[in-house]
Amino acid sequence: MTAPVPGWLNDLAANAPDHPVPPSLRPPAGRGRPAAVLLLFGESPEGPDILLIQRSARGRNHAGQPAFPGGGVDPDDGGPVGAALREAEEETGLDPRGVHVAGTLPEMYIWRSDNRVTPVLGWWHTPCAVHAASPDEVEAVARVPIAELVDPRNRLRLRFPGGHAAGPAFRVRGMLVWGFTAGVLADVLAVTGFQRPWDDERIEDVPPDVLRLARR
């Protein structure tokens, strides 16, 4: 069964050139490796959803973190769109033929891995079964309903030691989504009109196990 691209996703793609990039994520001149992630939206019995992965705790970068499928751009990819689709196929078993690429968001920089990341906006018009297709890199795969992400009970901010500003986070499907992924999700939910009022004064310290993996 195929599903048409919803208007909110077309609008997000059309307005992508004006999508704000926080100062902390703006790519520095002459630095960073090209990379891409796939923001793959679909329609489920619970309404619109998005595909997330839980990275393996054995990974070299962003170990144990929930994330969008994605990775570095290879020479044969032809750019960030090809890279995002290839990585998603390798990590989750996704069939790229079931995905319509609506557009891309502006490039963003992740200093910890020194990557210049292009978020690719995809619509899953013909869904397929997905799983942790690369166990060394991915522990789990989940289709997370937008309704769960915007539920005020699932939203919070995380505070790191040393006085770092608290960043957005989500608790969904047994995952604590934070960092780059949570920041992109928070921005997208806001500009698409899905966001619901929530207590942004709900601030928690980063759990020790999350902090340990983040510092590896």
Torsion angle in degrees (nearest 10) through CA of 190, 180, 156, 166? -110
pLDDT at 163: 65
Q: How confident is the model at residue 211 (pLDDT cuts 50, 70, 90)?
A: confident
Name the CATH topology of 7-152.
Answer: Nucleoside Triphosphate Pyrophosphohydrolase (3.90.79)
**pTM here?**
0.94
pLDDT over threshold 70, residue 216 = no
CA distance 100 to 125: 7
pLDDT over threshold 70, residue 102 = yes
**β-strands 47-55, 99-104 pairing:** unpaired
- Structure confidence by residue, pLDDT tens digits, 171-210: 999 999 999 999 999 999 999 999 999 999 999 998 888 8
pLDDT at 30: 84
pLDDT at 200: 93
Q: Per-domain residue ranges for the chain?
A: 7-152
pLDDT at 213: 72
Which sign, positive or negative, has the C-alpha torsion 12, 185, 106, 141?
A: negative
- Structure confidence by residue, pLDDT tens digits, 35-64: 999 999 999 999 999 999 999 876 555 578
Can you spell out the DSSP letters for 39-74? EEEEEETTEEEEEEEEE-TT-SSSTT-EE-SEEEPP
Lowest-confidence pick of 11-20, 116-125, 148-157: 11-20
